[in-house]
Structure formats: C-alpha cells, structure tokens
Amino acid sequence: MKILAVIPARAGSVGIPNKNIRLIGGKPMIYYSLDNARKSEYITDIVVTTDSPEVEIVAQQMGIAVHHRSADLCDSKATLDGVIYDAAKDKEFDYVVTMQPTSPTLKASTLDAAIKYAIEKDLDTVISAINAPHLSWGRDENGNLKPNYEKRLNRQYLPPNYMETGAFVVTNRRALKPDSRIGAKVEVFEIGSDEAVDIDTFQDLRTAEYLL
C-alpha cells in the first residue's frame, strides 16, 4: 500500500511572519511535520508543496521532495483542497495524508494510529479533532442570535462537539477531488489537547514551545 504525505507550506503568513520556518525548540516549525512523516510506519512517500525557497531548503536538507506550487495556489483565498490535489494528482497512492506544518506537537505514533484506523475501517476521510463540548451561540437566517443547544447542561453532560485541529486529514484516493478531501464515510480521530496545538498566534507559538 502506498500512502503519500503532503505538507503544504507557503511563504506568506499574516499572523506570524515566516511562520513555517520560525524556530521553535531550536528547529524550524516545519521540521516537526517532516520528521513525523519520516518516522511513520505507514507513510511511503512525502512531498512538500511550497513557493518558499527557505522551506524548500529545509525539505531538501531532510531528503524530502518538493512540489513547486503555482502562484494562484499561494493566494490566501486558495483552498487547501486544491493545493493538496495539485501536489498529489500525478502520483500513485492509496491514501493521501495532509499534514499541517503548524502542528508541531503531534506525535508520529498518533498519526500512525489514525492512518491505521482509516485503513482498517475503509474510511474515505479521517480528521484530527478534539472533543470540546461547550454552550455556544450562533445566528439564524435572519441574523437573530440563537443557542446551538437544546438544553443548558453542565459541560460533562453536553453532547460531543468535535473541533478540527488541523494536524492531519487522511483521505482515501477515491475521495480526493480538486475541491474536496471529504468523502462519504467520514470519522474524526480524537487527539489529546497537548497534540492539538495549531499555531496561528504568538500565544500558540509559546504554548507549543513549552510543550516541546
């Protein structure tokens, strides 16, 4: 079985400049995703899709292939679905694993457990998530505030509320399309909060550095 890991890491970043190559724990942030992919017992091929010369250097130093992403796929409005499809479309694989460089606290063993789960259950998609039930509010079609719950309960009695962490998405080949990585048979794979850090802010960065 061939399992391809695709790690998207464009040059631009709004919240934290040069985020993907910022040093954390003495290593560029993207190093941790690349290292997890290399350590995986299931992943057979790895490619980094980027427009960043610095990211390309890090990948090459680790012996990992680079896909040069076109300018239209580097725009902040470009979806990750299109980026992953572009990097994987000409390659042979049974599953493609999207691995975000912004999740440096994820463990390779957790990643492998999720891949194994996807294979054994013959799932189309497995998404990393944490279960975070909370009382929350939204708005209806008229813009009026409404509760996202039927009854106010203590947190431990609320129904599951799975929040995607961004750490990984495991996708069966049959479910990969230019505009989607989500197939009909979808499951979440719960991970611990210590592995769920998704770096968007400097506070996230400090948290990840502490955990590492």
For the segment 119-174, what is each residue's pLDDT rounded down to a tens digit?
Answer: 999 999 999 999 988 888 899 999 999 988 888 888 778 888 899 998 999 999 99
The amino acid occupying position 104 is P
Look at residue 135 in the predicted model and tell me its pLDDT.
87
173, exposed or middle or buried, with CB in 10 Å at 0-12, 13-18, 19+? middle
**82 C-beta neighbours (distance < 10 Å), count:** 15
In sign, the C-alpha dihedral spanning 111, 115, 121, 125 is positive
**pTM as predicted:** 0.88
Region 35-44: mean pLDDT is 97
- The answer to whether residue 75 scores a pLDDT higher than 80 is no
